[in-house]
Amino acid sequence: MKLDKKELRYFKHKCYGGKSTAAHLLDCILGSLMLLIFLFFLLRYFGASIQGAAVLSICLCSSVILFHTVYRHYRIERLITAELDRIQKSIALEALTLLPDFSYQEICRNIFTRLYPNEQPISVYHGFYFKEHELFCYAFHNHPKVPVGIRQMMALYRKLQKLKAKNCCLLSTSTYVDDAKAFSDRLGIHFVLLGQQELLSYADIYIDASEQNIRKMLHEDMHKFYHKTKLRYSAFAPNKYRAYLTCAFFLICWYFLFRLSILYPIAALICCILAILSYRNTRKQQFKEESSDSFSIDEK
């Protein structure tokens, strides 16, 4: 897949930690000057002449810059490869998510029979039960961005009690929240948790991710990345309210201790307002995460 200039610029910005090309270039120039000065005085300290120290410091600094340039290109290439691979996997997982339930169940049945080939499973409770192994296999059909939560694990546990199963194998197009993993460890049942990587590996599904779909998802990621780097987003970002409150506290203390300008209480008030806005965004994010755990598997 050939990337255009805008897409390459996005990967460079992401590799530089959100810095623009001009800011990264300025960092490189200033860093090179500081390194050059440091090497020059270091060589002079060890007894080199002025001309010798100048020539050696320039050569060493040039070598470091060349190495850094090669390493930077290597990092960018690795990032591009990893991101495109992630996008292709995301497209494949979304395609699996959008499949009808019977098609998805058939794929998962083939996966479970491949994992446990010595016995044919019985379809029960929208899953597959291997009676000889006392094993119940179930496949969650969540969206890839909605992890399996504690409520789904509790509903599954009731099914395991009815079947008196001692082992359970789970498969999911999404991940598992930490609470769900911890809950499975306390149930006294041996769980095997298979996630996205295992699903794509075992299923042997190669979704035809066209260049158009890859580019579309890439542009969506670009839009989200540049939106998060905006000052308006970063100023009201979730979990920043503690920093704002700490800053307001020190500004108020500084004003009352030294009786300085009235601008300090005004700045503290602004910090409190920013803290309130950041706290609201934090609560919204927590509500979204909690609501993502509202899905429960069928009890039939």
pLDDT digits (tens, 9 = 90+) for 138-154: 999 888 888 888 888 88
Domain for residue 218, yes or no? no
Show the tokens assigned to 30. Answer: 């200033």
Q: What is the mean pLDDT of residues 203-220?
A: 72
Integer Cα distance of 288 and 146 in angstroms: 10
Q: Which position has the higher pLDDT, 192 or 231?
A: 192
Length of the chain, in residues: 300
Higher pLDDT, 260 or 85: 85
* Same domain for 238 and 187: no
246 and 163 belong to one structural domain: no
Mean pLDDT of the chain: 81
Q: Quick one: pLDDT at residue 203?
A: 65
Question: 183: buried, middle or exposed (CB in 10 Å: 19+, 13-18, 0-12)?
Answer: middle
The verdict on 73 and 120 lying in the same domain is: no
In this structure, are 51 and 135 located in the same domain? no
> Region 51-63: what's the mean pLDDT?
91
Last residue of a domain, one of 56, 86, 116: 86
On the 0-12 / 13-18 / 19+ scale of CB atoms within 10 A, 46 is exposed
Domain termination residue (choose one: 86, 120, 137): 86
More confident residue, 78 or 181: 78
Both 122 and 74 in a single domain? Answer: no
pLDDT of 201 > 70? The answer is yes
Assigned domain for 248 exists:
yes
**Together in a domain, 69 and 154:** no
The distance between the two most distant Cα atoms of the chain, rounded to a whole number of Å, is 87
Residue 221 to residue 10: CA distance in whole angstroms:
10
Rg (CA), the chain: 28
Output the CA torsion 18→213→204→295 (10° steps): 80
Q: Is residue 25 part of a domain?
A: yes
Are residues 189 and 113 part of one domain?
A: yes
> Does residue 217 carry a pLDDT above 90?
no
The pLDDT of residue 58 is: 93
For residue 91, being part of any structural domain is answered with no
Task: Tell which wins on pLDDT, 242 or 36.
Answer: 36
Residue 299 has pLDDT above 50, yes or no: no
Statement: residue 239 has pLDDT above 80: no
Local confidence band at 210 (pLDDT 50, 70, 90 cut-offs) = confident
Q: Do residues 151 and 181 both lie within one domain?
A: yes
**Same domain, yes or no, for 113 and 80?**
no
Residue 206 has pLDDT above 50, yes or no: no
Residues 153 and 181 in one domain: yes
Give 127's strand partners: 124
Look at the chain and report how many structural domains it folds into.
Answer: 3
Task: Examine residue 283 and state whether it is found in any structural domain, yes or no.
Answer: yes
- Mean per-residue pLDDT for 211-229? 79
Q: Is 274 domain-assigned?
A: yes
User: What is the C-alpha to C-alpha distance for residues 160 and 136, in angstroms, rounded to an integer?
Assistant: 7
Asked if residue 68 and residue 23 are part of one domain, the reply reads yes
Is it the case that residue 205 has pLDDT exceeding 70? no
Confidence of residue 277 (pLDDT cuts 50, 70, 90): confident
Q: Residue 293's domain spans which residues? A: 231-300
pLDDT at position 136, please?
93
The number of C-alpha atoms within 13 Å of 62 and in the hemisphere containing its C-beta is 6
In this structure, is residue 47 part of a structural domain? yes
Given a cut of 50, is residue 71 above it in pLDDT?
A: yes
Residue 120 has pLDDT above 70, yes or no: yes
Sheet holding 190-194, edge to edge: 122-124, 127-130, 135-140, 167-172, 190-194
Token reading at 46 = 């060890």
201 within some domain:
no
pLDDT at 228: 67
pTM for this model (two decimals): 0.61
Residue 17 is encoded by which pair of tokens? 């930690």
Q: Are residues 76 and 107 in the same domain?
A: no
Dist CA 282 CA 43 (whole Å): 53
Contact 282, 238 (CB under 8 A): yes
Last residue of a domain, which of 86, 112, 146?
A: 86
